[in-house]
Each structure stands twice: as C-alpha cells, then as structure tokens.
Amino acid sequence: MTLKTEPVTINLGPQHPSTHGVFRFRVTFDGEQIADIEPIFGYLHRGSEKLAEERTYAQVVTLTDRMDYVSSMLSNQAYILAVEKLCGIEPSPRGVWLRMIAAELQRIASHMVAIGFLLQDLGTWGTPLTYAMRERESVLEMFEMLCGARITNSYLRPGGVFMDAPVEFLPVLDSFLSALPHRIDELESYLTGNEIIFARTKGVAVLKPEIAINASLTGPMIRASGIDWDLRHRDPYDYYDRVSFKRPLHRAGDNFARYWVRMQEMRECITIIRQCVEQMEPGPVRPSHDDVPYLLRPPVGDAYVAIEGSKGELGFYLVSDGGISPYRCHVRAPSFINLTLLREMLIGTLMGDLFVSFGSVDLNMGEVDR
C-alpha cells in the first residue's frame, strides 16, 4: 500500500518567534522537507531613502541608525564616508581612529547578536543568547559613554566624530578587550565543539562560492564559502590600511562555517581595536565648522562608498544636486541582498534547518526593508 501525501503550504511569520523581525516565509512542505519557499517582507518598510531626500546631510545620520539597528555605527560610518567623498572632506585623524574603534566594537556586538540568535534558533532556550547579549551589553555601555546612546548612536559626523571619547573610556575599553578573549574562548568551548550543533549545522544550506558571488553575497557569507574578500583588506577605507589583521576563512560554506567565521572575526576585531588605540594621537576629532559647516552643500555629482559592514558590503550611493539634502540616497543593504539565495539554500532541507539557515544569514529586518 502506498500512502498518498500532498504538500502543505504554511505561512511562517510575520508573527513567529524566530523571524528576526517581521518576516514571512511562505513554505511548501513535503512532509518535513521544504519543497518550495518564498520570502515575503516589507513589513518594516519606512521609506528611509525617501526620508533622506528631505533631510539635510547632517540629519540623515539619524536615519542610518535605524536601518541596521544592531550595527548602527557601521551604517553611520558608511554614510559618513559617502558624504565625505561627495564633499571632498578630509577627516581629522583622531576622529577616524575613534570611528574605527566604534565600528569594530559594533562589529563585535553585531556578531554576538548573530551568534546568539543563531543558537537560539537551534533551540538552546536562550543560554548562548544571554551569554552573547552579556558581552554585547559591555559594548553598548561603552557606546553610551562615547555618545550617550546605546543603539541609535548618531556618533559620527562628516569629518570625524562629534566629540572626543571621555577620559574614562579608554581604560574601560582596555579592560573589555582583555576580558573578551576569555569570554569568546568560553563561548567557543561551549559551542564550537558541541556535537549537536555540529550535527545540526554541518552540511546544511551549502553555498558554492561561484554561486554565492554571482548572487552578490558579501561579508561573512562568502568568507564562509572560501572567498577571501574583505573590503577592509581589499579596499581599505578610513585607516584600515594602517592596521593588520587576519581574515578568517572557512571553505565549507554551510551554516557551521558561517557561525565559525563570525566567531573568529570577533577575535580579529580585538586586534584591530588594539592597534587603533596604539596609533591614536591627540588632536581634534572633527574639522572646524568653517571647513565643515553643519549645513553641507556638496557639489553636483554622485558618490558610492562601500564598507565592510557586519553583514556584508554596506554601500551608500548619494547623488547631490548642489542642495542641502541628498537628491537620491540609495543604500546597498547587505542583509537585503544576502536574501537572494535563500530559496536555493533551503529547498530540500528539513523544517528544523529553515530558521537555522535563516539565522546563519544574519539579517536584520530594519535593513532589509529600510
């Protein structure tokens, strides 16, 4: 006797515990196996690009905070670099070092979130998540010292940062940097050798490098597939050419590789921050208001600047018509573009792998929908 089966279509989301925001999958299951999947999003669309067209260049910084709200420093950085390129502003060295420190701290925080929620999707009842959040908390506290806010920082300004770090910042940073490797070791001894995690993530949702690069994936996604492409190394912006760091690579291209790459990248962030602190010298953190006024009027033209965000290549494309606000502000959002291959990654896997693979992409709905 053969049993007659038929595929079932289920909407997972928008209200689902592990959709990392407001996201909807329309999945067709054949038993437990995924036969077809269609991502549906836009629930968080706020029209940031349109809003940017009606704000001055200084005010748009606050919008970039809210695009990728777990790595807002990096969004700020990408936007500020685009404005600097558009206006031809020469940034102050101390400001650049400070924003590199802030960006790397933010990268640690963002990767912590990614790892924590990936493990949460694996069903650990929040234990790695709380450990990861605990480390992120230290970063956020430092952000509060730097700029008075924890998530929506708005710390960076064209030409540097808005204000020098307070005197008590560097000691706190130093103690954090010396404590963090032990915490990462602890997390790694907890997670990386864990047989269940290995069984759950290995060989699932494998991305071949050729396919990944053709689909414009960037960041940890392709470094996990064995492509040594890190914009900090290949196209150094700010002063990344003055620091040395390793680029962790994994060749498997599966969920475990993506987890592993993020884990190792956090260690590299520590070395980068240490080098920044060493090379930082006293001085102004932003050019004077005569050089960079509040109300910027860039010359007519356009500029595209991409940085290595925590999730991939984060680019801002600004078009100026000579006015006080951008004529067009386009964001090349890595979370959004990393979703391209979701269907290919997931078809044929089981239901349990769905959210794990989704979590390993590490996306942020604020950035996907913008």
Indicate whether 120 belongs to the interface with another protein (CB under 8 A). Answer: yes
CB 159 within 8 A of CB 287: yes
* 176/164 Cα distance (integer angstroms): 19
Residues 6+ apart with CB under 8 A from 2: none
Indicate whether 324 belongs to the interface with another protein (CB under 8 A). Answer: no
Indicate whether 7 belongs to the interface with another protein (CB under 8 A). Answer: no
Q: Render 231-272 in DSSP notation, one character per residue.
A: HHHHS--TTGGGS-------SS-SHHHHHHHHHHHHHHHHHH
Least gap, CB of 354 to another protein (angstroms): 7
Chain residues 236-295 in contact with another protein, contact rule CB under 8 A: 236, 241, 246-252, 264, 294
Indicate whether 363 belongs to the interface with another protein (CB under 8 A). Answer: no
Indicate whether 175 belongs to the interface with another protein (CB under 8 A). Answer: no
CB 277 within 8 A of CB 239: no
Sign, CA torsion 318/323/327/329: positive
Instruction: Between 79 and 336, name the residue whose CB sits nearer to another protein.
Output: 336
Indicate whether 203 belongs to the interface with another protein (CB under 8 A). Answer: yes
Piece in contact with another protein (CB under 8 A), picked from 84-92, 93-101, 192-200, 275-283: 192-200
CB 31 within 8 A of CB 7: no
Indicate whether 217 belongs to the interface with another protein (CB under 8 A). Answer: yes
Q: Render 22-52 in DSSP notation, one character per residue.
A: S-EEEEEEETTEEEEEEEE--TT---HHHHH
CB 55 within 8 A of CB 328: no
Indicate whether 337 belongs to the interface with another protein (CB under 8 A). Answer: yes
Indicate whether 194 belongs to the interface with another protein (CB under 8 A). Answer: yes
198-199-201-202 Cα dihedral, nearest 10 degrees: 80
Joined together, the tokens standing for residue 369 give: 């929908």
Among 30, 88, 90, 148, binds another protein (CB under 8 A): 148
Indicate whether 88 belongs to the interface with another protein (CB under 8 A). Answer: no
- How many residues bind to another protein according to rule CB under 8 A? 117
Strands 160-161, 24-30: parallel, antiparallel or unpaired by DSSP? unpaired
Indicate whether 125 belongs to the interface with another protein (CB under 8 A). Answer: yes
Least gap, CB of 177 to another protein (angstroms): 19
Least gap, CB of 14 to another protein (angstroms): 10
Indicate whether 152 belongs to the interface with another protein (CB under 8 A). Answer: yes
Residue 301: phi and psi, rounded to 5, are: 155, -170
Least gap, CB of 312 to another protein (angstroms): 10
Indicate whether 45 belongs to the interface with another protein (CB under 8 A). Answer: yes
Instruction: Between 90 and 186, name the residue whose CB sits nearer to another protein.
Output: 186
Piece in contact with another protein (CB under 8 A), picked from 71-79, 86-94, 97-105, 117-125: 117-125
Least gap, CB of 72 to another protein (angstroms): 11
CB 298 within 8 A of CB 83: yes
Indicate whether 79 belongs to the interface with another protein (CB under 8 A). Answer: no
Q: Render 315-331 in DSSP notation, one character per residue.
A: EEEEEE-SSSS-SEEEE
Indicate whether 348 belongs to the interface with another protein (CB under 8 A). Answer: no
Which residue spans within the chain are E strands per DSSP? 8-12, 24-30, 33-40, 156-157, 160-161, 301-308, 313-320, 328-332
Piece in contact with another protein (CB under 8 A), picked from 67-75, 84-92, 106-114, 126-134: 126-134
Indicate whether 340 belongs to the interface with another protein (CB under 8 A). Answer: yes
